[in-house]
Structures are given as C-alpha cells and as structure tokens.
Structure 1
Amino acid sequence: MENPLWHPFADMGAVDGDRFVITRGSGSYVWDDAGRRYFDATASLWYANFGHGRPEITQAVTAQLEKLDSYNLFGYYANEPALELASRLSSLAPVPGSKVFLASGGGDVVDTAVKIARAHFVHTGQPEKTHIIGRTQGYHGTHGFGTAVGGIPVNAEGFGPMPSGFSHVAYDSVPALEAEILRVGADRVAAFFCEPVIGAGGVLLPPEGYLEAAVEVCRRYGVLFVADCVIAAFGRLGTWFGIDRWAVRPDMVTTAKGLTGGTIPLAALLVSPEVAAPFFTGSAGAPVLRHGATYAGHPVGCAAALATLDIYEKDGLISRGRELEKPLADALAGAADHPLVAEVRAGLGFLAAVELSAEVLAADPGAPGKLQRLVRDEGVLVRPLGKGIAMSPPLVAGDEELDLLAAAIPAALSRLQG
C-alpha cells in the first residue's frame, strides 16, 4: 500500500512509488534515504538561508520547550520570545517604528496584509478603498487572498471563483500600474503587492528604477505599497529585508522562510506606524483587528527566530546575498551558452533561473521537470519552475558548491539534448 501522504503542488499519480526522501542535512548538503549526498541549491524551498543542522537552533528550541512550550497571543496575552522578536525586527525594519504582526507562514501574512490594507482605509474614512493590484507572474502564497493577488493563472484554476476586488498588471511596467489605478479609480485602490525579485514566478529581476517608480506612483495616488519579501528577506538579496536594498519606504513588508531558516514555521508582517495608527490610538473603543492565527507568536518559533537572527549577525550572512550574486551568475555562464537555453536570470541576490528555449518547451512541456531530475543525478538539487529551473543556495555556500552547480547544469542540459 502506498503511503497516504498528499504532497503540495504534486501529481500524486506520478509521486506514488517515486518519492525522493531526504533523511538528513548539514550545512549546504542533504542526504537521501540511499545515503547519497546532494548540494541543496534551492535551500529547500528558498528558506534554508544558513543551511542545515545548526546546533544553536536546537539549543534555543530545547531551552524554550523546557521553559514554556506554547501559549497564544490573543487579547492581552504575550510571551517573552515574541516580545523580544517583535522589538528586534522593528529595530531592523526599513521603516522606523514598524509594528510587527506574527503568523505561521508567508501565506498567513499576505492575507493579513490584504486585511490590514482594507481595514486601514475603513478606519481612516475611506471604506471604498478595497481593490488590490498584483503583478503578472507574482506569487503570494496559496491562501485565498494570496491566490487572488498572485499573477500565475494556473495556480487559481480549478477552485471556482476567486475573491473579488483583485487585478494584475505587467510585472515590469510602471505605466501599466498607473493606468490600472486610474482605470479602477484611485479612490477605490487600497494596495499594490510587489516582490522585489519575483521568486516562484520565474526569478524575474526588476528593471532598473522600477521599484522606486512604482512606490512613487503608489504615493501619488494614496495606494499602499506592500513589499512581499517572504523570499527576498534575511540575506537573499544581501540586506535584512530585501526591499531595503532600494531607497524606498514600503507601507508593509511580508517575511517568513528565512526568519527561522525554515526550522520552525513562523512569519512576520512589518506594518509602518502610519498604516497601523488607527489600531494603536490607546483610546477606549479603538478598532480591533479581528484576525490572527492560533500559533501566531508561538514561543518556540520565536526562540528559533531569535537564534536565527543571531546566526545571521554572528556569521555575517546578511551581506552574502550581494557578495555571492556575481559568483552565482559566473557559475551559470556555461549554461547561458547552451543551445537549449533561452535565458539565464541572475546577478541580483543569491538566486537565479535557467529558462529553456521556446522550441524545447513546445516539443516537450515536461522538459523543466526532466532537467531537474538530470541535475539531481549530478548531485545538485534545483527546482523546476515554469519554463526552466531555479536555484537559491544557502548563504553559507562557497566556491566548492558553486563549482558543483557550474558543472551539473551544463552536464544535465547536454543529457537532455540527447
């Protein structure tokens, strides 16, 4: 009998009997159940920023479990790790004085950001501002609002009607954003959601000046700018939050993944003091945000996050995303010249994508998945993503790992070519 585990984003008919079981990890490497070692060039799912197997996390989690294993944050309840984490994140935030709303994962904080954007305008006398604009190829998780604001059509297929009040614009066009705000009506648009570098949609880099211009358009029309940095934060782009690589002021910043290096599910939404103001008046009868997850601010997760922030600081990992972006691009230069490849996208942060040519994809739509398998055969794990493969190695990776990647991808492409 096959195991009943149902995998996310998986053809279960193909998965059954063909699982790839990871049994342990250390640093930039993981091992399968046959004992073979692989370079984890995806940092699992964009999140193992400091690699695997750090004893500091084990110690922090164990100590917290022995002290306080769990308690909720609803109403006036709090716990020490959550308070400390909120203070620490706020002190690092791109907008001074940001409030911190904790949750269990990236999808949670995306939905939270949609609700807060709409609620902010309700409580500032503009209740008609409810419309949310996303970008084509944008990915914002798989919760209800996140699926709706995401710009990958296949992710919204087969579920019936999506929530109303969402639309999308070309991911690389500021004029398209302004035109959509005017089409909907600036008095009706609440927020624009934007990944600094689009991740799951194909590792799409922003054109020069795009982010600054998009924020300026949002300011001009009174639209909140929400930076989705679930992937981009905690060193992936070489700064604490990713969006702070640019001289812009986001109204909200979503984070998760690298917040604990993936060790414990945890997410944090940073909310500028201006957007949070209606909920923090201190007066009787102030509005209450009737929203939150059971495990928001879980003390064990927060303890893991605090230990993670310590690792980033102690090991100097946050700047690594910028330091390694050129070496990663250089490592992929051999793939860029391969006849099966249409484009290599790299050079902004420690992440990249190799896109296959239109001819290859037309002849075999399953080619990205086949390429992933062939790269795995070379001892390197990458992700099939849209029209090709993507990678986002741990920030602890070095020359040895990049050399493995540089050799594995051209070898796999040649085998795919046949």
Structure 2
Amino acid sequence: MNPYEKRREELAELDKRHFLHPTSPIKQQQEQGPAFIFVKGEGVYLEDINGKRLIDGMSSLWNVNIGHGREELAQAAAEQMKTLAFSSCFATFSNEPAINLAAKLAKISPKDLTTTFFTSGGSEANDTAYKLARHYWILKGRHEKKKIISRHRSYHGVAMGSTSATGLKPFRDFTNSIAPDFYHVENLSAEALREVIDQEGPDTIAAFVAEPVQGAGGVHIAPDDYFKKVRKICDDHDILFIADEVITGFGRTGTYFGLNHYGVTPDLMCFAKGVTSGYAQLGGVMLSQSIFDDLKKHSTGTLLHGYTYSGHPMACAVTLKNIEIIENEKLIENAQKMGEEMLKGFKWLQDKHDLISEVRGIGLMGAIELHSSTKQAAPMIVNKAAELGLICRSVVFDHMDILVFSPPLIITKQEMDKMIDILDHAIYSVEQI
C-alpha cells in the first residue's frame, strides 16, 4: 500500500467514526466511507486524495461561481483578517467591509432593493425573511397576517422555518413537528396561488416566497408571465413577495439575478451561495426602500433578530472581491453564452438517448429529465459520471428522475464539450443495464 492509499484509509476511518455528513445516506457513510476526499480545487476541477480530477458540474452546491483556487479571494481574506477579522454588528456597531458591501448590493440588485440584513447562509436568510415579513405586519398592527405560502418542489433551506417552507416533502418529514402557518401551492400556476389566498383569506397571509428558478427541486423554469401575475396577486391582496435568489443570484442564470429575466422586483430578496462563490460563509436579505421606511417609521425598540456573524468583516471583504471578479471577467455574459452551449449539448443527448424525456436550462442551470418508467436511473448515471470524471446530482423526489447541473461560470467551450461527452458515455452505460 503506497503512502497516499494509507492516508486515504486513515482519513476514511476517521470520517466514518467522527463526521456526520449533511444530506448524505448514513448507512452508506458507515459502510463505504466518503465517496471522495477532496484535497484541491482549480478552475472547474476538483482533485481527490488519490489524484483523480473531476469536472465540478454542480459548482459544488450551486455556489462556486468563479471557480476553485482563486488566490485573489484568499488574499482578500488574509488582508482583512490582519486588520479586523471579526467584530459584532449588534447594537449599531459596524465595519467598513459590511458598509461597502451593503452599498454595492444596492447598486446591482433589482430596483427598489436598497437595504441588506446579513446572515451566514441561505437557510438563515430565508428564516430571516419570514420573520421580517411577520414582524413588518405586527408593526403595522395586522397581527393576523402570519402565514407563509411557498411552492411545491421548492427548496428554501433546512433551518426550522426554511424546512417548513420547502416544498419537497421528504425534507419536512425528516422532523415530526414543522413550524406552523406554512402552506404550499402548485409550482407553476399563478392561479393556484390565488386559490389558496382566497381559501385562507388574504388578511391571514404575510408573504409568498418563490425561487425564480427552482434549483434543488429539479431546475423548474416558470412560464414567462408567471412572476408578473404573482407580483400583481401579491399587490392586490397586500401580501409581501419574497424572492429566494440563493441559487439563482450573482450570474447563475445569465443575469445578475433570476428575477431580471421576468422584469419583476420583490419586496424582500434572499441571497447566499454565489455571493461569495463558497470562499466564505455569507448570505442575507435585501429589503425594498418602502419596507425599510415602514420599519423605521413604526419600530420603537430593538430589532430582536441577528446572528453572531451578521456583517462578518472578513466574509464581506471576500464577497466584494468575488463580485469584482464576476464583473471584471464578464462571467455573467459567459454564463449566458455557455448556458446556450450546455442546452445545445443536452438537446444533442436527448436526440441520441431514448432514456431522456426532456431537457431544459437557463444560464448555467440545467436539467435532464428521464422517462418515469426508468425510475432511479438518474442516481446510476450520477455514479457512472463520477467514475468518468464529472460531478452532477440527481433529483428523485416527488416522482421525479432528473439530472441537474450548474457548472462554474468560468467554464469554457472545451470544458463544456468534455462534460457533455462524459454524460453521453455515462447515459449509454446505464442504458445497457
């Protein structure tokens, strides 16, 4: 046994004994250990402890937008940590990176979104949005407005509120008591939203939350007029509209934010993931100017909500550098261009393989849906693709059998062609079983 194999076995045993993995099969972890132990990332590639290189076709968790191994972000973190690694933002304390980032976000976000509450990630951002929406109505004397409506096949995180909003039932079934006052409607029908509002009564509903493109639920893309209808329904019934841009923000869909495709501005907008490209933990909620004005007007005490790392100086400094790279390297434009290439490749695969029923994509978010009669083919394709050097994910909830993709925004045509070629071989291998 060479030293690398020995080290991998040692780490695998420690992993099995001491590391409870997120969103992973517990028995598989105990019996087989980690599928990969990654030691290096460079560009669109991850490298494991044995030297195997794989295209990161998921940007890890939809989030490594600028790719792996960017020394500029390491330098930004180090420089900030040398001067001010951390300070609290409670009790109106502040720091320069957080102030500059909040101002930058106001410039690049959909119009009217002017103010940011910082969190450590997407689940916290979603929980914060629901609490702020309810608190907003309390301040306006409308205590009965507390229900949150979300969509089937949505994913909003795994904190208690965000789990309750998530429209994938297995996530809610994980615990035996979810938060009250959460409701779910059909995911692509504005009329279904209207019906639930009429049924529950608009005076009981605080907010409607939706991803511009449903990511973890299978990359479901709404009809062109869906969000304009949703915006009008919310306005007509005095309901806040929360956009969950945790996956779709910062160039992923070929625009800065997913809702840019639909010409709609939400009242609150959650973000995380691509805002730092995974180099630091940061998320947040942006508020419209009118919501912020009402909070200032009606609030008489302390905003009793906050996280230890809200406005973390180092994370904010990394975020500013990440956004600078996205803009300077025109990665949003590249996401649009390479997204067209990815969808073209998916259509070529669909023409070639009877296993595929549908393909879809928007920017560098894409999905390959398989025929329902071949249930559970997607996980087998994922495993085969990994053997061949490509990381992707399967979605098998709610009678779906889908492959999903979100490669880094830096991906080139050559790398995209390689990704499609590996998929071709992986799908063919599964078809032969």
Q: Equivalents in 2 of 1:97, 1:199: separation in Å?
A: 23
Match of 2:47 among 10, 31, 44: 31
- Give 1:21 deviation, angstroms: 1.2
What residue identity is the alignment partner of 2:217?
G
Once the two structures are superposed, the pairs formed by residues 4-403 of structure 1 within 5 Å of their partners are 4-16=18-30, 17-19=32-34, 20-96=36-112, 98-281=114-297, 286-337=300-351, 338-346=353-361, 348-361=362-375, 365=376, 367-386=377-396, 387-403=401-417
In the other structure, the counterpart of 1:415 is: 429
In structure 2, do the counterparts of structure 1 residues 85 and 395 end up closer, same or farther at CA, with 3 Å as the change threshold? same
What residue identity is the alignment partner of 1:59?
Q
What residue identity is the alignment partner of 1:381?
I
Q: Equivalents in 2 of 1:335, 1:375: separation in Å?
A: 14
Q: Equivalents in 2 of 1:191, 1:230: separation in Å?
A: 17
Q: Equivalents in 1 of 2:250, 2:190: separation in Å?
A: 27
Root-mean-square deviation (Å): 1.4
> Could you say what secondary structure the match of 1:23 adopts?
strand
> Could you say what secondary structure the match of 2:66 adopts?
coil
TM-score, scaled to structure 1: 0.95
Query: 5+ residue gaps in structure 1?
Result: none
Give CA-to-partner distance per residue, 1:267-320, whole Å, 9 cap, x none. 021111212223323x9x624321111111111100100110110111111233
Contact preservation (8 Å) 1:334, 1:406: no
Q: Equivalents in 1 of 2:333, 2:271: separation in Å?
A: 18
Q: Equivalents in 2 of 1:340, 1:238: separation in Å?
A: 28
Give CA-to-partner distance per residue, 1:215-273, whole Å, 9 cap, x none. 11111111111110000000001222221232112101110001110100100211112
Q: Equivalents in 2 of 1:237, 1:215: separation in Å?
A: 20
Q: Equivalents in 2 of 1:225, 1:157: separation in Å?
A: 26
Q: Equivalents in 2 of 1:318, 1:339: separation in Å?
A: 33
Q: Equivalents in 1 of 2:227, 2:184: separation in Å?
A: 16
> Could you say what secondary structure the match of 1:265 adopts?
coil
Give CA-to-partner distance per residue, 1:335-388, whole Å, 9 cap, x none. 323122222122x22111112211110xxx3x3222111011221111122222
> Could you say what secondary structure the match of 1:190 adopts?
strand
Q: Equivalents in 2 of 1:375, 1:97: separation in Å?
A: 41
In the TM superposition, structure 1's runs of 4+ consecutive aligned residues that sit over 6 Å from their partners are none
In the other structure, the counterpart of 2:7 is: none
Contact preservation (8 Å) 1:334, 1:410: no
> Could you say what secondary structure the match of 2:18 adopts?
coil
- Give 1:321 deviation, angstroms: 2.6
Tell me how many residue pairs correspond in the alignment.
Answer: 411
- Give 1:97 deviation, angstroms: 5.4
- Give 1:104 deviation, angstroms: 0.1
Contact preservation (8 Å) 2:276, 2:282: yes
Query: 5+ residue gaps in structure 2?
Result: 1-12
Q: Equivalents in 1 of 2:336, 2:238: separation in Å?
A: 32
Contact preservation (8 Å) 1:335, 1:354: no
Q: Equivalents in 1 of 2:195, 2:384: separation in Å?
A: 44
Contact preservation (8 Å) 1:196, 1:228: yes
What residue identity is the alignment partner of 1:254?
C
> Could you say what secondary structure the match of 2:300 adopts?
coil
> Could you say what secondary structure the match of 2:213 adopts?
coil
Q: Equivalents in 2 of 1:24, 1:200: separation in Å?
A: 25
Give CA-to-partner distance per residue, 1:48-80, whole Å, 9 cap, x none. 001011111011000001001111111121111
Q: Equivalents in 2 of 1:146, 1:309: separation in Å?
A: 26
- Give 1:212 deviation, angstroms: 1.1
- Give 1:208 deviation, angstroms: 2.1
Give CA-to-partner distance per residue, 1:170-198, whole Å, 9 cap, x none. 00101000111111101111110010100
In structure 2, do the counterparts of structure 1 residues 97 and 380 end up closer, same or farther at CA, with 3 Å as the change threshold? closer
> Could you say what secondary structure the match of 2:286 adopts?
strand
